[in-house]
Structure 1
Amino acid sequence: MVCVREAVGQGPETEAWQDKPAKLARKDRDARWTVKYAKAKQPTVTPTSAATRSHDIAIPMFGYKNHAGIDRPHGFIRRWTVTSASSHDGAQLRNVVAKDNTASTVWADSAYRSKRNEEWLERNGLTPDIHQKKPKGKPMSETMSKANGRRSKVKSAVEHVFARQKDETLRQNHRGRAKLKIGMANIAYNMLPYVWHQGRTASA
């Protein structure tokens, strides 16, 4: 991700509003802007063809991120943290991975792949199985593509957690309030797999 305005909320207007507490209270001085890149599909130019091709699009986003560590067998959010949208995902790995995991393997997106993170996982008895990044200016090798595909099959089982929350608009004017609201959303989500697992074990 690319931060497009790191100092949002700290500009001259903030100082000018010091004598207007009501107006200043409505300004979010903790959130940040970032740009998220995604793939978009569009029809090919051939009139008789129904094929599509994908291209990158940049989506500006303002607010906060919910970083979560999810239990693979049961789908529970075990640990989470909240940062501004411009914060790098990889720096939050140790804040969302529980050291007392009963399993040792940790799956994550390529943003979390770094020598520092892998060394931290290994020091804590955990095995990193993190997506590999595509080499700059080079196509991804078949071996790397297959390895990432294997990882994606595991990660896809927990992607619905974020799919459920991504469309929920978070409008707060303080990181503390944002953290509280995201935390409540995480707790509420955990009730869904809990009820499902309880239903499986209930006597007929």
Structure 2
Amino acid sequence: MGLSSGDKVPDEKTVWSFREKLTNNQTIEKTFVLFRDVLNAKGLILNEGKMVDATFATAPIQRNTREENKQIKDGDGAALWNNKPHKKRHKDIDARWTQKGGQNYYGYKNHTKVDAKSKFIDCYKVTDASVHDSQPLEDLLDENDKGQPLYGDSAYTGANQDDVIENAKMINQVCERGYRNHPLTEEQKASNREKSSVRSRVEHVFGFMEQSMHGIKVWSALV
């Protein structure tokens, strides 16, 4: 890019603002696809297996009244604060609350499909945080995945998910889940350990986002 260590570079919020413009005019999705296609053409996405998982993107907690929150949940949040445009610019009516592992999260969820060997993100879908990990699975898979194994944790088990994977003509390598009065057998546990040795690589991707990119979060700012 022609930059040296002594040159001035845009700060974090400037980069965020630019990315928001790309997102709002849907350029970011086109850019992602172009970048992915270049990686594919150069053989850097190996297509020998895919991993799916989801992670939270936290957003600033909104201080709304009970009535305002109800209106937002009812899908009519856009009608709020129209007489207070400055306040409205700071309001997020799409983020939602959810709980996982006894901890509360507010914001969004980033669902990703990652190439198992290269660990490049192949496809992604963003939802509010309350959407279950497995719900966007069908949107993440495409015809190029045919014949490849698909690795995921036990959140992706169930008849519906099995059908999605079968329809995509992928090899189901999702970890099995035990249930009350139907615990996993030793054979199933051993199979899960083998699958997890590949599936766990997706955590490296999220770990990079959290550590090297200083977290996955959503900013609220004046536009």
In which range does the TM-score fall when normalised by the shorter chain? Answer: 0.5 to 0.7
Residue 122 of structure 1 corresponds to which residue in structure 2? 166
Q: Is residue 95–residue 107 contact of structure 2 (8 Å, CA) maintained in 1?
A: yes
Instruction: Give 1:93 shift.
Output: 0.8
Alpha-carbon distance between aligned partners in 2 of 1:92 and 1:104, rounded to the nearest angstrom = 19
**In the alignment, is residue 34 of structure 1 matched against residue 34 of structure 2?**
no
Q: How has the CA–CA distance of structure 1 residues 96 and 12 changed in structure 2, closer, same or farther, with 3 Å as cutoff?
A: closer
Structure 1: distance between partners of 2:77 and 2:91:
10
Distance 1:139-1:7 versus aligned 2 partners, 3 A rule: farther
More strand by share: 1
Contact 1:8 1:33 in 2 (8 A): no
Could you tell me the TM-score, scaled by structure 1's length?
A: 0.63
**Cα distance in 2 for residues equivalent to 1:13 and 1:30:** 9
Stretches of structure 1 that go unaligned for 5 or more consecutive residues are 38-57, 175-204
Between 1 and 2, higher relative CO (CA 8 Å, sep ≥ 6) is seen in 2
Which consecutive residues of structure 2, in runs of 5 or more, have no partner in the other structure? 1-68
CA offset digits 1:104-142 (Å, max 9, x no partner): 211111111121221222222211111112213654332
Q: CA offset at residue 9 of structure 1? A: 6.2
Map of 1:99 onto structure 2: 143
Aligned to 1:172: 219
Question: What is the match of residue 192 of structure 1?
Answer: none
Say if 1:33 and 1:85, in contact at 8 Å, map to a contact too.
Answer: yes
Residues 1-204 of structure 1 mapped to structure 2, 5 A cutoff: 17-37=81-101, 58-101=102-145, 103-136=147-180, 139-166=183-210, 168-173=215-220
Residue 186 of structure 2 aligns with an amino acid whose one-letter code is: E
Equivalent residues of 1:78, 1:98 under 8 A apart: no
Cα 1:13–1:125 change in 2 (3 A) is closer
Work out the number of aligned pairs and report it. Answer: 150
RMSD of aligned Cα (Å): 2.9
When the two structures are superposed, what TM-score results if normalisation uses the length of structure 2?
0.58
Following TM superposition, by how much is the alpha carbon of 1:75 offset from its aligned partner in structure 2, in angstroms?
A: 1.2
CA distance 1:161–1:16, change in 2 (3 Å): closer
What's the CA shift string for 1:6-43, capped at 9, x where partnerless?
Answer: 97666999866231121122111000011111xxxxxx
Contact 2:71 2:77 in 1 (8 A): no
